[in-house]
Amino acid sequence: MANPLLRLVEIAQQEIGTREGAQNNTGPQIAEYQSATWLTPAPWPWCAAFTSWVLREWLEEADSLAAMNFPNFQVAEKWRCKDASAFGWEKWARQKGLDVLTENDLAKAGDFVVFDFSHIGIVAKDQANPKDPIETIEGNTNGAGDRDSTTGDGVWSKKRAPSLVKCYIRLVTQPK
């Protein structure tokens, strides 16, 4: 069986190049990402909103529902993470009994990666060696890789050092 999380990566990849509006942390697509969390859209840092939105979009597809053993989107929507903070994702994953892995584990495409600096993204490509850079897709970052409410300006493809990883969250365990 093919990795169902590759579709999650595709959804995130389609957003690369999305940029904020004239005011920091705003814009129509940023508000759309933020609407996938429990917070009202406003000028607040939106990296976790981006991952919440990608997860919601992925769960709207029949193959994704099947991969997660959800009977319908309504059940999946009640289950999915709506936390607007990166570190909140780790707590949610543990509460849901998902695999929460360390920086010493190999990152897999479709994992969510929570960074030590309160930031989150989606792993875009399987990591061959735990010391290799992690290829990600992240919201509220920039070309330099900054993550904060002042300099993050859009959705970018990034390479980051595994030493920055707090944890990986794996939705679906793949057969070896």
Q: Are strands 134-141 and 112-115 parallel, antiparallel or unpaired?
A: unpaired
DSSP state of 19: B
Q: Kindly report the pTM of this predicted structure.
A: 0.94
pLDDT value, residue 146: 63
Asked if pLDDT for residue 151 goes beyond 80, the answer is: no
pLDDT value, residue 3: 82
pLDDT value, residue 173: 74
Asked if pLDDT for residue 168 goes beyond 60, the answer is: yes
Q: Which of 62, 72, 38, 40 is nearest to 52 (CA)?
A: 38
pLDDT value, residue 172: 87
| Of 52-61, 115-124, 149-158, the least confident | 149-158
Q: Where are the domains of the chain?
A: 6-170
Residues 6-22: tens digit of each pLDDT: 999 999 999 999 999 98
| 64: its two tokens | 């994704």
| 122: its two tokens | 């989606």
Radius of gyration of the chain (CA): 15
Residues 79-135: tens digit of each pLDDT: 999 999 999 999 999 999 999 999 999 999 999 999 999 999 999 999 999 999 999
Higher pLDDT residue, 23 or 11?
11
Q: What is the mean pLDDT of the chain?
A: 93
pLDDT value, residue 142: 86
- What does the alpha-carbon distance between residue 172 and residue 161 come to, in Å, rounded to a whole number? 24
